[in-house]
Amino acid sequence: MTTHLLPDLADVSRRGDRVALRFGDTALTYRELAAVAAGTASRLAGLRRVAVWATPTAETCAAVVAALAAGVAVVPINPKIGKREMSHIVGDAEPDRVLAAPGAELPGELAGLPRIDVTLTPPAQPGPWPAEPPASTPAFIVYTSGTTGPPKGVVLPRRALTSNLDALAEVWEWTADDVLVHGLPLFHVHGLILGVVGPLRRGCTLHHVGKFSTEAVAAELAGDATMLFGVPTMYHRLAEDCAADREMAEAIGRARLLVSGSAALPATEHQRIEQLTGQRVIERYGMTETLMNCSVRFSGDRRPGTVGLPLPGVDLRLVDDDGNPIPEQDTDAVGEIEVRGPNLFLGYLNRPDATAEAMHDGWFRTGDMARRDPDGYVRIVGRRATDLIKSGGYKIGAGEIENVLLDHPQVAEVAVTGEPDPDLGERIVAWVVARDERPSADELIAHVAEQLAAHKRPREVRFLSALPRNDMGKVMKRALRA
Ligand code: MCA
Ligand code: AMP
């Protein structure tokens, strides 16, 4: 393992002329990116953490690289964030500065922070690359939803990134010769840590398509791109498009590696993509708090419906309802996945209670339920919490949406659930008991959209005269779904 988090930016003598990043017509070589980032890093020295307005642009990557170089933790902000989330995140993380592309209009509390514009023009005299901070230094604080309450800030140390990205490189045979293409958002682990820091650590090239479309990624794979990262919704759309367009299917079929993650890829989708493109998707399993835990190997058996074996350096076990480990040979038992290793987060920001609750004898409790094939391949079969929804690969807490809906004057009671959806995996449904005057579904969806990020809007609103409750008064969500 190299000592630097980003060795080819810290020392551009090896790959300086190679393109590091391309967004549309904007491209930066390793030498240019290093100069731009070192310039901004010199303005960040001594700070604790910065917010980055995470539009899908080269400026966002340059801001992130600058903060990483300076040893300052990055709080990536979804540019489609709602008012309530913004107040919470800025209040909780207390960033010292906000980094954004020049001209980007920043809403709410972000506008009140001291701002640094990140341009792609290298300074006339780029300063030296700063010394590598200790491996335990926080690199990112990524906000993630829980079952109740506002999102929690997951503090990820540099060692989690280095160890995990190197483990992925080993199992995917990911090298400096690869060109990665994706259209993932840059405010979550998948798009930002795997999809930006990943290629920069390898010394390879990233082509970001801005907004995902099969057409855009197929055009890149018909060119020099070798790897694609996506969530299952993207692979579903890709399969639909390839079924209608042979040329696209052929372009996708040229990839060295198609990787899916963030939610389960249905086995039927695996098979459809293989039939259409000749490619078998590799599935990997991760979490914001743990980065990646498991993956199918590049040269391994690409078995649909499994997430492969634990990554090198990651300890994984299944535990029963009493917290006792299930023997590895027991292939019938379903248990909760617990993990341990250098990939783990340091804790939830300002939430020692939640951090303690997530740990069990030094192991992190993922909340995901799984069983094992005889050769150790992990099959995820569900989630412990019914109040967590995965829609389009985004994790969404039912409680956060319920709290916003309850603030609407015409909402008396509400329950939010996830329903199976062929495109999104799950779609958000709000069950509402209205007061005297029933609001329209559109009005309630717009009310959520104002307070929370776009992907947290209910797709459907269903009105009821009462919610089904048990003897304790708790809403029976399973009964609603039935
Ligand atoms: C959405 N729209 C709506 C509603 N919902 N309009 C009205 N009412 C609603 N309820 C709008 C959207 O804003 C969008 O508008 C348009 O409808 C289409 O929406 P959608 O079908 O959702 O398509 P999309 O916007 O293209 O999004 C699909 C997507 C996206 C591209 C797959 O969900 C996505 O980028 N997902 C990636 C999530 C991710 O990165 N997760 C990683 C988490 P408009 O076009 O105007 O905006 S990290 C993680 O999970 C771990 C670590 C891991 O393992 O990776
Ligand atoms: P997040 O908190 O957004 O990082 O989402 C993490 C969650 O996504 C995990 O706890 C799993 O429930 C889910 N997840 C990620 N990858 C996979 C996968 N390949 N198969 C099934 N679930 C997955």
Query: In this predicted model, what pLDDT tens digit does every residue of 216-266 receive, in sequence order?
Result: 999 999 999 999 999 999 999 999 999 999 999 999 999 999 999 999 999
Distance of CA 7 from the midpoint of ligand 1 (Å): 33
Domain with 92, as residue range(s), is 7-195
Residue 387: which of 396, 375, 379, 378 has the closest Cα?
Answer: 396
> Can you tell me the distance from the alpha carbon of 294 to that of 208, in angstroms, rounded to the nearest whole number?
25
391 alpha carbon, closest ligand: 1
Residue 463: which of 392, 414, 417 has the closest Cα?
Answer: 414
Written as six digits, the tokens of 245 are: 């367009």
pLDDT at 240: 98
Lowest mean pLDDT among 206-215, 284-293, 379-388: 379-388
> Can you tell me the distance from the alpha carbon of 204 to that of 227, in angstroms, rounded to the nearest whole number?
11
pLDDT level of residue 481 (50, 70, 90 thresholds): confident
Q: What is the CATH number of the domain that holds 174?
A: 3.40.50.12780
Check if 380 has its Cβ closer than 6 Å to any atom of ligand 2. Answer: yes
pLDDT at 381: 96
Q: If residue 207 lies in a helix (H) or strand (E), which one and from where to where?
A: strand 205-208
- Domain presence at residue 311: no
Residue 341: which of 195, 166, 203 has the closest Cα?
Answer: 166
Position 215, amino acid? E
Check if 455 has its Cβ closer than 6 Å to any atom of ligand 1. Answer: yes
**Residue 475 DSSP one-character state:** B
For residues 338 and 364, is the Cβ–Cβ distance under 8 A?
A: yes
pLDDT at 299: 97
Check if 290 has its Cβ closer than 6 Å to any atom of ligand 2. Answer: no
Final residue before a domain boundary, out of 151, 179, 195: 195
Q: What is the CATH number of the domain that holds 424?
A: 3.30.300.30
Distance of CA 131 from the midpoint of ligand 1 (Å): 38
Distance of CA 30 from the midpoint of ligand 2 (Å): 32
Q: What angle do CA 341, 342, 346 make, to 5 degrees?
A: 105
Written as six digits, the tokens of 225 are: 């791109």
- Domain presence at residue 356: no
- Domain presence at residue 141: yes
Distance of CA 299 to the CA centre of its chain: 25
For residues 76 and 52, is the Cβ–Cβ distance under 8 A?
A: yes
Q: In this prediction, what percent of the chain has a pLDDT beyond 90?
A: 95
Check if 426 has its Cβ closer than 6 Å to any atom of ligand 2. Answer: no
Q: Cβ of 266: how many Cβ atoms within 10 Å?
A: 17
Per-residue pLDDT reduced to its tens digit, 169-214: 999 999 999 999 999 999 999 999 999 999 999 999 999 999 999 9
Across 145-152, average pLDDT: 90
188 alpha carbon, closest ligand: 1
Check if 445 has its Cβ closer than 6 Å to any atom of ligand 1. Answer: yes
Written as six digits, the tokens of 33 are: 């990116």
Across 128-134, average pLDDT: 96
Written as six digits, the tokens of 360 are: 């069990």
Check if 262 has its Cβ closer than 6 Å to any atom of ligand 2. Answer: yes
pLDDT at 248: 98
pLDDT at 235: 98
- Domain presence at residue 119: yes
- Domain presence at residue 448: yes
Residue 431: which of 397, 465, 407, 472 has the closest Cα?
Answer: 465
Q: Which atom from ligand 1 is nearest to the alpha carbon of 392?
A: 33
Number of domains in the chain: 2
- Domain presence at residue 254: no
Final residue before a domain boundary, out of 137, 163, 195: 195
pLDDT at 1: 44
Position 80, amino acid? K
> Can you tell me the distance from the alpha carbon of 347 to that of 63, in angstroms, rounded to the nearest whole number?
24
pLDDT level of residue 302 (50, 70, 90 thresholds): very high
First-to-final CA distance of the chain: 51
Across 351-362, average pLDDT: 96
Check if 185 has its Cβ closer than 6 Å to any atom of ligand 1. Answer: yes
Residue 129 has pLDDT above 50, yes or no: yes
- Domain presence at residue 255: no
Distance of CA 404 from the midpoint of ligand 1 (Å): 20
Residue 41: which of 19, 17, 63 has the closest Cα?
Answer: 63
Written as six digits, the tokens of 424 are: 């999104």
Residue 133 has pLDDT above 90, yes or no: yes
For residues 141 and 193, is the Cβ–Cβ distance under 8 A?
A: no
Q: Is 34 exposed, middle or buried (0-12, 13-18, 19+ CB in 10 A)?
A: buried
457 alpha carbon, closest ligand: 1
Residue 149 has pLDDT above 90, yes or no: no
Final residue before a domain boundary, out of 195, 214, 236: 195
455 alpha carbon, closest ligand: 1
Alpha-carbon radius of gyration of the chain: 22
Per-residue pLDDT reduced to its tens digit, 418-466: 999 999 999 999 999 999 999 999 999 999 999 999 999 999 999 999 9
Give the residue carrying structure tokens 């339920």: 369
Per-residue pLDDT reduced to its tens digit, 40-87: 999 999 999 999 999 999 999 999 999 999 999 999 999 999 999 999
pLDDT level of residue 147 (50, 70, 90 thresholds): confident
Q: In this prediction, what percent of the chain has a pLDDT beyond 70?
A: 100
Beta bridge partners of 462: 431
When the pLDDT of each residue in the chain is averaged and rounded to a whole number, the result is 96
pLDDT level of residue 125 (50, 70, 90 thresholds): confident
- Domain presence at residue 108: yes
Q: If residue 227 lies in a helix (H) or strand (E), which one and from where to where?
A: strand 227-230
Q: 181 vs 146, which has greater pLDDT? A: 181
Torsion of CA 73, 79, 81, 83, to 10 degrees: 100
Cβ partners under 8 Å of residue 255, min gap 6: 221, 225, 226, 227, 228, 279
